[in-house]
Amino acid sequence: MLNIYILTLFPEFFESPFSVSIIKRAIDRNLVKIELINIRDFSHDKHKKVDDYPYGGGCGMVMKPEPIFESVEYVEKKIESTNRRIILLSPQGKIFNQAIAQELSCEQNLVFICGHYEGIDERVKTIITDEISLGDFILTGGEIPALAVTDSVIRLVPGVLGSSDSPVNESFCNNLLEYPQYTRPEIYRGLKVPDVLLSGDHKKIEIYRRKAALIRTKEKRPDLFEKIELTEEDRKLLE
């Protein structure tokens, strides 16, 4: 089982997303356990204050170190294991991708720290193992990145998706974007499903999908395409 602990100032943010769809099914099947931990519960202030003015001046407020340190220590006592990753969601972190999702899905315990306000006290970074970002843009807090990373990781936990092939054939696996998908009706508003997909010839369908994925990746994500180790057959398809 994958255990996920999310340290946040707004646990209610996650209640609805975690009660539907694939995440809910993973929880119901005991494949994943998610615990939401309110950082405010570890505040030493009678008003549950978790932020303060930055030393040296500047705009905004900074999250205090004590509640974060102590909430992490609370989790570490619960899991009683050194097999854990403590992840800070931060715009300064490593850009998240499918390879990182795959790596995290193999862990036993993941602890996500959701920052807020103008940031967190720098000393918190002495207790983290990873710093992850969704991209080069700013969000209100770490809750949205934590939700996105959690969803991406849970999909890769064995048994969560219906078919073992599902995560393998999705975009970004092996640096390829996914091939085009179609369903019924066969013709809609004059747009027809490619004949090869209706042929029943599985070998031709496999070749069509590989070629389509290669072309789509080359056109839309040349940065990913450069990382693909093309086979001789791939080169022939592209020609």
Same domain, 89 and 194: no
Same domain, 13 and 112: yes
Residue 34 to residues 72, 159, 181, Cα–Cα distance (Å): 15, 17, 33
- Position 168 scores a pLDDT of 52
- Summarize the confidence of residues 233-237 as an average pLDDT: 96
Residue 113 is assigned to a ligand binding site: no
- Summarize the confidence of residues 61-76 as an average pLDDT: 97
Same domain, 11 and 39: yes
Q: Considering the domain boundaries, does residue 161 fall inside one?
A: no
Q: Considering the domain boundaries, does residue 201 fall inside one?
A: yes
Q: Considering the domain boundaries, does residue 167 fall inside one?
A: no
Same domain, 139 and 194: no
Q: Read off the tokens for 40.
A: 């405010």
Same domain, 119 and 196: no
Q: Read off the tokens for 16.
A: 């609805």
Q: Considering the domain boundaries, does residue 165 fall inside one?
A: no
Same domain, 83 and 200: no
- Summarize the confidence of residues 165-190 as an average pLDDT: 80
Q: Considering the domain boundaries, does residue 135 fall inside one?
A: yes
Q: Considering the domain boundaries, does residue 66 fall inside one?
A: yes
**Last residue of a domain, which of 103, 125, 154?**
154
pLDDT at 203 over 70: yes
Q: Considering the domain boundaries, does residue 85 fall inside one?
A: yes
Q: Count how many domains the chain has.
A: 2
**pLDDT above 70 covers what percent of the chain?**
95
Same domain, 147 and 90: yes
- Position 75 scores a pLDDT of 97
> pTM score, two decimals?
0.88
Residue 195 is assigned to a ligand binding site: no
Same domain, 232 and 149: no
Q: How confident is the model at residue 82 (pLDDT cuts 50, 70, 90)?
A: confident
Please give the Cα distance from 235 to 239 (Å, whole number).
Answer: 6
- Of 75, 78, 45, nearest in space to 63 by CA: 45
- Position 165 scores a pLDDT of 46
Q: Considering the domain boundaries, does residue 25 fall inside one?
A: yes
- Is the peptide bond prior to 65 cis by the omega test (within 30 degrees of 0)? no
Please give the Cα distance from 45 to 47 (Å, whole number).
Answer: 5
Residue 136 is assigned to a ligand binding site: yes
- Position 172 scores a pLDDT of 62
Q: What is the CATH number of the domain that holds 206?
A: 1.10.1270.20
Q: What is the CATH number of the domain that holds 147?
A: 3.40.1280.10
pLDDT tens, residue by residue, 8-60: 999 999 999 999 999 999 999 999 999 999 999 999 988 999 999 999 998 89
Same domain, 68 and 135: yes
**Last residue of a domain, which of 91, 119, 154?**
154
Domain residues for 97? 2-154
